[in-house]
A and B are shown apart, each in its own frame.
Chain A
Amino acid sequence: MKFWKPGLLCAAVMLAMPVAAQEVLTIGVRSEASSLDPHWTQLSADVQVQEHIFEKLVALDSASQPIPGLAASWQPLDDTTWEFKLREGVQWHDGEAFNADDVIFTFDRLRGGISGAPASPAFQLEKGSKQWTKVDDYTIHITTDGPYPTVAEDLAMLPIVAEHAARGVTESVDFNSGQAAIGTGPFLFEEYSPGNRVTVKKNPNWWGGEVEWDQVVFRPITQDASRLAALLNGDVDMIDYPPTIDLPQLQEDPDFTVSTISSDRLIYLMPGYKHVERFITDNDGNVMVPNPMRDWRVRKALSLAVNREAIRDRVMGGASLPAKNIVPPGFFGYVEGLEADPYDPEQAQALLNEAGYGDGFRITLHGPNDRYINDARILEAVAQMWSRVGITTEVDAMPRNIFFSRLIRGDELSMPGFDVPEFSMSMTGWGTVAGEATYTVSGTLETYNAATGGGNGNFGRYSNPEIDARSVLAKRTIDPETRLAILQEAITIGMEDYAYIPIHFQVNNWAMKAGLEHQPRTNERTLATEVSRVD
């Protein structure tokens, strides 16, 4: 099948594009950057724009593994002290020299609190109760309250701002105007027009080398179909999240190129483990005691009843990686040999019989419809599959603005400081942003504990002491090999117990005009430095 494509590239399209000899890259993005203050949120949409201007001490490679950024090197001096050597000769966009004072200022600013920020990354500094001291102009020491292995990964979330530009300015506002948007990155701030575009221009003095693009424009286009249309008619050069349904045609079309990489975001189904679950009933509508989800055979049956290949091929346009692991291949903590469950409805039925649920039961599957790629359609597909093994499944898909509040603390037993989730079976995603499984294990598999922050993404309230012990230990083990072994044990235990039911890792796609080449990233960000012209 072919696209309904521009029949003639008339003058109209030429008009729509900036007429200049400059190299301009226009990117259509699904979500808009809400602020250029790099400490405002940790949202992908914000960070990907800010990363063109601001840099971190620790950068991430395309597989989210830490590599030197503004820090040239780092190492642990002892169990609780890390030394970071800063890169020398780096200049801020206005020509001032970058040094340790800027780093100290940045960390102090974060600890002081970014007033009004909805999701400041400041909490990365609280993990391990980090303290920082300047040793000399290009050396920083970070100390923690105990052995803490992931200092570098945490610092990869904290963009460094210029002390001389950012001291005393108003959060967000002065960054959006450009006054404080002085960074060290490959691009300089040019314009921020909310709802319309963010423009950055080439930094001729970037320490990282020659920058290919003179100007990069980010244009927010929320509707999937409109974003694709903008690419097809040449309004933009590249888009993120092309509709998966159009991927096969885009790949075949010689006028366009698709770049693909598996993402760090696991999509999984989380059963509720409360004694009685409101949304699980027998076939007559009575709540069930005990909750069948507490029987691992039921959870395994549900996993076997999901046809992950069908979801990949029919829902995701071929773009998903069926999974049983909780971090993708190449990430620290990936377990070789943990393969996605095969589709086996007979065995699922047998397991249900064995567990005493041969007649099936009813369940409501909750999930968002505007958060993950094709989320509502995945929910419907799973419901079809479960219904066929006798578990009558209703789907309740809702916008994320309602879904997450109800997921996290929707139950009437919730009190301030004590959240009780509402759903009995819900679909969520977890992105291992730092490229490292420690916090994925702690967040999703550890027993929920508001005081320690353990299990803060464990909305089913799964609890397994075997995992808890290993997760806590891993968070205190600096030696990478020992930590890796502990993490892999914990993951294997959790997944063999079907703590939750993984479906797949999302696969990130970008579509662009032919003649462009893109080195895609696991962490979903679109960076102009990774796009180049090949013709």
Chain B
Amino acid sequence: MAEFIIKRVLQALLVLLVMTVLVFFGVNVIGNPVYIFASSECDQACLTKIIADLGLDRPVWEQYLVFLGNLLQGDLGNSFTHGIPALSLIFERLPATLELAFAALVLALVIGLPLGMRAGLKPEAFSSRCIMAFSMIGFSLPVFWIGLIMILVFSVQLGWMPSIGRGDTVEVFGTEFSFLTLNGLHHLAMPAFTLSLIMMAMVIRLTRAGMREVLFADYIKFARANGIRERRILSAHVMKNILIPIVTVLGMEFGGVIAFAVVVESIFSWPGVGKMLIDAIGVLDRPLIVAYLIFVVFMFVILNLLVDILYSILDPRVRLGDSPT
């Protein structure tokens, strides 16, 4: 057991190392950030000074070693643009993104589950067909297109919704959250809905498939035979069984949702990490781009590692080396 865990941890570290190399060198081949910021009047001497000041005059591999050294001390460097440690910028803006992603998750479940159950209970009904068509459209629509159309319809034409940004926030445990204020919720609604559509489509399909399977299972038949009311069967027995695959898939897709927040955040000017990444790319804020990517890689690698270890505890066969299909 311990041997397995050590092996996996070492593997994870190796992956992290390889990713830092890829990310760092990849980001360092694009353009030169100095020319983006410098005033047109800034001459060669002035440019040289800035380049030296930002540490860009040294060879890339040397910059990489410095970066790696700092990384080991938990320092991902300072953003060129803001002059603030990149990591603190990320943590400052992460809550906004997480809030958006969780709101989308909740919406997907709250809307998707009932619709999916309906479609599963009466697959031939017209409403069910509409629901399935909706899920197909939700699956297919490019996120940015929906976002733009929603702004056009609901904020410009109808004037019901604010089109941009985050609303008033309330501080809870030292972090700002906007979903606790009416104004905040109002701002959150459109971006969260836009982001939730793909997940919602997925929930509908999974729920429907789960319903079809579970409804014909023996224990449901027994429950029915025992005269338990339909509502109770649905809420207690069916739900419990279809939720497991849904939660699993959503868990796996949650990373994707955070990534897609990049698109939604830039449309709705939502001050999260995704918008930050796009802005950083626009001005070649290398430390910030690298920091964000390393942060994401780290998150995923740790998650994977935990899942692996958890699996190995639950299912000893995994340790034998055959990775599960």
Determine whether A and B are in direct contact in the complex, meaning some CB atoms lie less than 8 angstroms apart.
yes
Binds B, one of A37-45, A355-363, A376-384, A510-518: A37-45
Q: How far is the CB of A220 from chain B (nearest CB, A)?
A: 7
The verdict on A7 contacting B157 (CB below 8 Å), with A118-B37, A226-B269 known, is yes
Compute how far the CA of A443 lies from the CA of B41 in the bound complex, rounded to whole angstroms: 7
- A185 in the interface, Cβ–Cβ < 8 Å? no
A222 touches B183 (CB 8 A): no
Binds B, one of A8-16, A254-262, A280-288, A324-332: A8-16
Binds A, one of B12-20, B79-87, B231-239, B253-261: B79-87
Residue in contact with A117 in the complex, picked from B83, B148, B276, CB distance below 8 Å? B83
Q: How far is the CB of A37 from chain B (nearest CB, A)?
A: 7
- B194 in the interface, Cβ–Cβ < 8 Å? no
Within B155-185, the residues touching A (CB, 8 Å) are 155-167, 182-183
Q: How far is the CB of B103 from chain A (nearest CB, A)?
A: 17
Compute how far the CA of A40 lies from the CA of B187 in the bound complex, rounded to whole angstroms: 32
Compute how far the CA of A171 lies from the CA of B82 in the bound complex, rounded to whole angstroms: 10
A453 touches B165 (CB 8 A): no
- B54 in the interface, Cβ–Cβ < 8 Å? yes
B266 touches A232 (CB 8 A): no
A119 touches B161 (CB 8 A): no
Binds A, one of B28-36, B119-127, B134-142, B295-303: B28-36
A118 touches B186 (CB 8 A): no
Q: How far is the CB of A180 from chain B (nearest CB, A)?
A: 13
Residue in contact with A235 in the complex, picked from B53, B163, B272, CB distance below 8 Å? B163
A226 touches B44 (CB 8 A): no
Q: How far is the CB of B58 from chain A (nearest CB, A)?
A: 12
Compute how far the CA of A233 lies from the CA of B38 in the bound complex, rounded to whole angstroms: 36
Compute how far the CA of A17 lies from the CA of B178 in the bound complex, rounded to whole angstroms: 15
Q: How far is the CB of A457 from chain B (nearest CB, A)?
A: 5
Residue in contact with A230 in the complex, picked from B38, B43, B163, B166, CB distance below 8 Å? B163
Contact partners of A235 in chain B: CB under 8 A: 155, 162-165
Compute how far the CA of A433 lies from the CA of B268 in the bound complex, rounded to whole angstroms: 32
B35 touches A417 (CB 8 A): no
B186 touches A15 (CB 8 A): yes
Contact partners of B167 in chain A: CB under 8 A: 16
Contact partners of A37 in chain B: CB under 8 A: 83
For chain A, give the interface size range.
Answer: 35 or more
Compute how far the CA of A322 lies from the CA of B17 in the bound complex, rounded to whole angstroms: 54
- A193 in the interface, Cβ–Cβ < 8 Å? yes
Q: Which residue of A lies closest to B39 (CB)?
A: A42
Compute how far the CA of A143 lies from the CA of B160 in the bound complex, rounded to whole angstroms: 61
Cβ-closest 9 pairs across A and B: A6-B159, A453-B43, A172-B83, A195-B271, A119-B37, A123-B46, A196-B271, A118-B37, A405-B31
List 5 A-B pairs, Cβ < 8 Å: A7-B158, A28-B164, A123-B42, A195-B93, A232-B155
Name A's B-contacting residues (CB within 8 A): 3-10, 12-13, 15-16, 28, 32, 34-35, 37, 40-43, 113, 115-123, 126, 171-173, 176, 193-197, 219-223, 225-227, 229-230, 232-235, 370, 399-402, 404-409, 417, 419, 430-431, 433, 439, 443, 450-453, 456-457
Given A230-B162, A233-B155, 19 further pairs, Cβ under 8 A: A5-B157, A12-B186, A16-B167, A113-B49, A116-B78, A118-B38, A119-B38, A119-B42, A122-B46, A172-B84, A194-B271, A223-B266, A223-B269, A226-B151, A227-B164, A229-B155, A233-B161, A401-B30, A401-B36
